[in-house]
Amino acid sequence: MNLLVVGASHRTAPVDVLERLAVGTSDIPAVTKRLLAQPYIGETVVLSTCNRVEVYAAVTGFHGGLATIAGQLAECAGMALDELSGHLYVRHESQAVRHAFSVASGLDSLVAGESQILGQLRTAYDAARELGSASRLLHELLQQALRVGKRVHSEAHVDDAAPSVVSAALDLGERLRGRDFAGARVLIVGAGAMGALSTATVRRRGGDCVIANRDTARAHRLAARHDAEVVEWDAIGSVVGGVDAIVTATGASRPVIDAALLENRPQELLICDLAVPRDVAPEVGSLPGVSLVDIETLKKRGDTTRGDQYLALAEAILVEEVETFAGEARAAGVAPTVAALRTRAEEVVDAELSRLRRRTPDLSDDQRAEVAHTLHRVVNRLLHQPTVRVRQMAAEPGGEDYARVLRELFALDAPELSSFNGAAEALRISPGETGARD
């Protein structure tokens, strides 16, 4: 099995493509089942956030796995593969490891260094475990990615360097309004993770919140934590006239804020749409007095990265962790070769003992046992140092060559090691660039 990542993110695709690609939580089991039903896919994890949709997979063949995953993504988006392919990136083996670590660390996010992606990746991994679609290879990759993400945030302090998407949107909103959120009345539409983060951020900035959510009980729980008000979902239009801003982040598949809902809006209204697919209908941005900030706005402005010194330290951690992971993978991969060598040695010893029994029928059982013990001890001592060293050398870059030579010298029937050199090929799909940090 080899590691493969295929996906699209804010770096490679416009928001309208990401909207079409988005896989809702309720749809992930079906997508996962379809992927696993294909002959090249052994394991899979589907990650879908507001800024990316990507599939992590353990595949038996690069080209077959790539074609399967790309086809499934095209089906999810309702697009022809040729139309979607220019927006997809491909990461293979060590590049896939680096990509996973970079994503978990927040370094590939719209806001470089944000920490929310760490929880989103864990949720995707937990969902795959419940579905039984993440086994040995992806289990190890994502466990390590989550650990590396925590390490980057802890040691590189990237949280100090970069705001969340919510903070970035509100920062821009303050500049557009010409004043901060102190004393502002803000309608929060959606009480999920982004809604909760939005509420907490607005309250820290001195604003008052009104929360609307389809599940009113969830809205009340969030409001209780932040001394906020709750409005019924069907009554959103009735409170629009009394707010200074709207922050919306639902998981709806179509807009929940349209021009008709804003008929009684105030003269000036800021709307921050943090959802993908977008919560706000396109025509809203052209309404008089409305300032609209969405993911596309933040992406185009490109001002969501801060603290290059923090990111440089994070990059150094990534380089170290990727090489450690690769070394451990290479060292583990040599195990079948070592086992095959020891099996071959045991076969030779057993053959010689059988030959000895035929040629020396007068030896006692004790004598035969002593001879057998001596032969096994000699062989084990001869093999000990070489097998220890080949494990050590296999962990080094290019270490798979040592195991390959061992197989050739002793004509061993052991599986070939993965090259793990990250040489991603593209089958009708551009490898894509996820930016200098990836």
The domain spanning residue 19 has which CATH number? 3.30.460.30
pLDDT at residue 429 tops 50:
no
Higher pLDDT, 385 or 303: 385
Question: Do the domain assignments include residue 417?
Answer: no
Give CA–CA dist 143/214, Å, rounded. Answer: 34
Model pTM score: 0.65
Q: Tell me the two tokens of residue 43.
A: 């394991």
Which residue out of 50, 76, 209, 272 is catalytically annotated? 50
Is residue 195 domain-shared with residue 285, that is, in the same domain? yes
Question: Per-residue confidence at 432, pLDDT binned at 50, 70, 90?
Answer: very low
Active site residue 209: no
pLDDT score of 401? 74
Beta strand residue intervals within 50-197, DSSP E = 52-59, 89-92, 185-189
Give CA–CA dist 13/84, Å, rounded. Answer: 9
Q: Tell me the two tokens of residue 18.
A: 């990401």
pLDDT digits (tens, 9 = 90+) for 338-358: 888 888 888 889 999 999 989
pLDDT digits (tens, 9 = 90+) for 1-37: 889 999 999 999 998 999 999 998 899 999 999 999 9
Question: Per-residue confidence at 180, pLDDT binned at 50, 70, 90?
Answer: very high
Is residue 156 domain-shared with residue 183, that is, in the same domain? no
* Residues 125, 104 contacting (CB under 8 angstroms): no
pLDDT at residue 295 tops 50:
yes
pLDDT digits (tens, 9 = 90+) for 99-144: 999 999 988 888 777 778 899 999 999 999 999 999 989 999 999 9
Is residue 192 domain-shared with residue 289, that is, in the same domain? yes
Is residue 316 domain-shared with residue 249, that is, in the same domain? no
pLDDT digits (tens, 9 = 90+) for 213-238: 999 999 999 999 999 999 999 999 99
Question: Do the domain assignments include residue 435?
Answer: no
Question: Per-residue confidence at 428, pLDDT binned at 50, 70, 90?
Answer: very low
Question: Per-residue confidence at 197, pLDDT binned at 50, 70, 90?
Answer: confident
Output phi, psi for 273, to 5 deg. Answer: -100, 105
Is residue 259 domain-shared with residue 271, that is, in the same domain? yes
Question: Per-residue confidence at 69, pLDDT binned at 50, 70, 90?
Answer: very high
Is residue 259 domain-shared with residue 202, that is, in the same domain? yes
Q: How many domains does the chain have?
A: 3
Is residue 215 domain-shared with residue 90, that is, in the same domain? no
Higher pLDDT, 410 or 63: 63
Question: Do the domain assignments include residue 416?
Answer: no
Instruction: Give the residues across from 56 on adjacent strands.
Output: 5, 45
pLDDT score of 415? 54
Is residue 294 domain-shared with residue 315, that is, in the same domain? no
Tally Cβ neighbours within 10 Å of residue 355: 10
Question: Do the domain assignments include residue 9?
Answer: yes
Q: Tell me the two tokens of residue 315.
A: 């990059």
Is residue 91 domain-shared with residue 199, that is, in the same domain? no
pLDDT score of 160? 55
Question: Per-residue confidence at 424, pLDDT binned at 50, 70, 90?
Answer: very low
SS3 22: coil
Is residue 10 domain-shared with residue 140, that is, in the same domain? yes
Q: What would the DSSP string read from start to end of 255-269? A: -SB-TGGGTT--SSE
Question: Do the domain assignments include residue 430?
Answer: no
pLDDT digits (tens, 9 = 90+) for 355-385: 998 999 888 989 989 999 999 899 888 888 8
- Which residue among 265, 291, 322 closes a domain? 322
pLDDT score of 7? 97
Instruction: Give the residues across from 292 on adjacent strands.
Output: 271
Distant-in-sequence, close-in-space partners of 87: CB < 8 Å, separation ≥ 6 = 8, 12, 13, 14, 17, 432
Which residue in this structure is represented by tokens 């919306």?
Answer: 248
Is residue 173 domain-shared with residue 257, that is, in the same domain? yes
pLDDT score of 340? 84
Ranges 109-118, 384-393, 415-424: which has the least confidence = 415-424
pLDDT score of 158? 61
Least Cα distance to 10 among 338, 204, 337, 301 occurs for: 301
What average pLDDT score do residues 261-274 get? 93
The domain in which residue 358 lies consists of: 335-410
Mean pLDDT of the chain: 85
pLDDT at residue 175 tops 80:
yes
Question: Do the domain assignments include residue 85?
Answer: yes
The domain spanning residue 190 has which CATH number? 3.40.50.720
pLDDT at residue 163 tops 70:
no
Question: Do the domain assignments include residue 419?
Answer: no
Is residue 105 domain-shared with residue 144, that is, in the same domain? yes
Ranges 15-19, 183-187, 199-203, 390-394: which has the least confidence = 390-394
Q: Tell me the two tokens of residue 64.
A: 């077959």
If residue 230 lies in a helix (H) or strand (E), which one and from where to where? strand 229-231
> What is the DSSP pairing of strand 185-189 with strand 89-92?
unpaired
266 upstream amide cis, omega within 30 of 0: no
277 upstream amide cis, omega within 30 of 0: yes
Instruction: Give the residues across from 8 on adjacent strands.
Output: 53
Question: Do the domain assignments include residue 237?
Answer: yes
Instruction: Give the residues across from 59 on adjacent strands.
Output: 2, 41
pLDDT score of 344? 85
Question: Per-residue confidence at 422, pLDDT binned at 50, 70, 90?
Answer: very low
